[in-house]
Chain A
Amino acid sequence: MSASITGTDKVTLTRPSGARTIKNSLAAVYVTLATVLAIVPLASILYSVISKGFHLITSSSWWLQSQRGITPRREGGGLYHALVGTVEIALICAAIAVPIGVLGAIYLIEYARGKKVARAVSFAVDILSGIPSIVAALFIYALFITVFGFGRSAIAVSCALVLLMLPTVLRSTEEMLKLVPDTLREASYALGVPKWKTILKVVIPTAFSGISTGIVLGLARVMGETAPLLILVAYGQGINFSPTSDVMAALPTMINSGRDQAQQMPGYERVWGAALTLILIVMVLNLIARGIARMSKLKEK
């Protein structure tokens, strides 16, 4: 930059040496290549899914009908039954995981911050966040089916998913509570508002958008899980609203049962339709989460 100021030709001083320039360009080439390399599989997967599944999801019967009576050789039907199952399982899971997660985070940040207890809880959450879904499923299987003697059920799946969703909700709530400025809390205390009311009326509403982002992302994660569904509930082609029944469809198991068909069958094609739908749902949930986060950012400014 300063080359022009001196006016002389002391180029060597102002420009990086050859080796440095080469290293610099090599690095640029490397990161570009890495990005391309990351995009290629994504493009390939999306192409497979969209080219085979897109024509299915454009029809209204895809969204409004079940697969009941639709044999692998027949076209038609939809994924309504699986949608019902996926949404129901995820909502039951959220109904259990969200209160525990949010309250746990409140405890960690508002009551136990810096205490030994907080470290213990935090450690437990860490373990929980690393639990593989198959282990969570196995645990619920052992508890509900081997020990209690219940049959398989959608509720069992929800319970296994709670173990996976809980740490996501708790961690994101915790982060958001940390971001609530202490001045807000203190202003509330100064007005004589008790702590619990401060938390409920000041802290939580301030952090609300961040918390809901965490919840939505947690939902997105559990909706795509396959392993607990494989072990804990049977796939059925009909519509079922009862979470205690042992047959409940869900999108991942719809994909999994369809993949057992020969590849030329319409039944196999529905695998890609269901996969595309699942990707879309997870994507929309992510966009919602982003949207909520953005709204909050505008507010805080």
Chain B
Amino acid sequence: MTMNRRATTRLAKVAAVLTIGTFGLAACGSDPAPAGSSTSGAQSSSASSLACPAGKLTAEGSSAQANAISEVISGYNAECGDKATIEYNPTGSGAGIKAFYNGLVDFAGSDSALKSQAVDGAVETDKAKERCQGNPAWNLPMVVGPIAFAYNVDGVDKLVLNAKVLAEIFSGAIKTWNDPKIAALNSGVTLPSDTITVFFRSDESGTTENVTKFLKAAGGGAWTHEPAKSWTGTGEGKNKSSGVAEGVTGTKNSISYMEWSYAKDNNLKIAELDNGAGPVALTADAVAKAVSEAEIKGSGNDLSLNVKYTGTAAGAYPALLVTYEIVCSAGLEADKTAIVKDFLGYFASGGTQSGLEELGYAPLPEDLRGKVEAAVAAVK
């Protein structure tokens, strides 16, 4: 019996330690303090225009804008002293739209505008209208993510490609770096005779969808597959953008497509894009130029865009992905609407947009930015 009692005491001790440990942890953990004035000093002028309402906002969707929006949320919280709680869950565009029209989140982020034709038996625009109590939902272009064609070829520091050649590389028609079609665009550059290794995203992704859209539209028939979220070309698939970037970094004579930030952060070489009017290097300005040429499909304050992939002006870089914030034009609870307006107004402001460049995004062109700001202001 002594043994038994001792064991019980031991059990009690272990239990006590565990409980104390758990509660101890529970008692003293916290969220970190807001960033304070680390980045926002220069923008203090815009702070005056912020109303900073209190409350909680949740959003979900595109992972392409995740880095941008998390930085913006943190900046907004710093400006407002953490009055509102805003959470963004990068679960993917499709999931975001579903969560939005099912009323689970207050706005969605999506790499494509709401579709008005039926997908899996649901018409997104109708569903969204229902969710907004009969008011239409607006697509507000907010984050422009350029797509970089990053490569790893020794001794080649400047490489010019065009959509047709890219489509042929990605579909496997061009197999070696010294192919005459590549050489024709790069006179004076010594290209190796090695075979090209193409990396693609093995998971379904909006980046793949937008790249294939670009290749299909601008590739002059060289890309025969329909644009899709999963890759239909040749190559080796890697999980997520980081995997693709890792692949290009670690493999000689390789090329892939990825968000600009991944190419920049991994110090990868980025190909220039010949849009028909001469080679264009990937810069925020060149991307903004391409965005400003885009035609606005939506009516009124619905600003869904039709990106022009061919026949763009000199100096425009058309391989890009636009992430929309999808919001109710009216019909959301008043307290939430106040935060949505305030936050998205901050997001679309000039100061915030120009800060995005550092993260590998391109700021909205000024005229479109004005329209987005006006649309945000018109939300009721």
Contact = CB atoms under 8 A, between A and B. Distances in A.
A208 B242 contact: no
Contact of B30 (A66, A208, A299): A66
B interface, over-half SS:
helix
Contacts of A201: 1, 4
A71 B70 contact: yes
Contact of B28 (A64, A70, A236, A263): A64
Contact of A236 (B87, B246, B261): B87
Nearest to A61: B32
B30 A65 contact: yes
Nearest to A201: B4
B77 interface: yes
Interface string A106-117: 000000000000
A299 B4 CA distance: 11
A73 B4 contact: no
Contacts, number: 105
B359 A73 contact: yes
A156 interface: no
Given A71-B74, A205-B8, A212-B14, A262 B266 contact: yes
A277 interface: no
Given A206-B3, A262-B262, A87 B89 contact: no
Given A66-B31, A265-B265, A205 B242 contact: no
Interface in B51-77: 67, 70-71, 73-74, 77
Interface residues of A, number: 43
Interface in A68-98: 68-74, 76-78, 80-81, 83-84, 87, 91
Contacts of A64: 28-30
A194 to B, nearest CB: 16
Interface string B86-99: 01010100000000
A186 interface: no
B380 interface: no
Contact of B29 (A236, A239, A264, A295): A239
A57 B74 CA distance: 23
Given A84-B25, A205-B3, A212-B14, A73 B30 contact: no
B183 interface: no
A205 B7 contact: yes
A68 B245 CA distance: 26
Interface of B: 1, 3-4, 6-8, 10-11, 14, 22, 25-26, 28-32, 34-35, 67, 70-71, 73-74, 77, 87, 89, 91, 240-242, 245-246, 261-262, 264-267, 359
11 contacts: A65-B30, A66-B31, A66-B32, A77-B32, A81-B29, A206-B7, A212-B11, A262-B261, A262-B265, A295-B10, A299-B6
Interface of A: 61, 64-74, 76-78, 80-81, 83-84, 87, 91, 201-202, 205-206, 208-209, 212, 234, 236, 238-239, 241, 247, 259-265, 295, 299
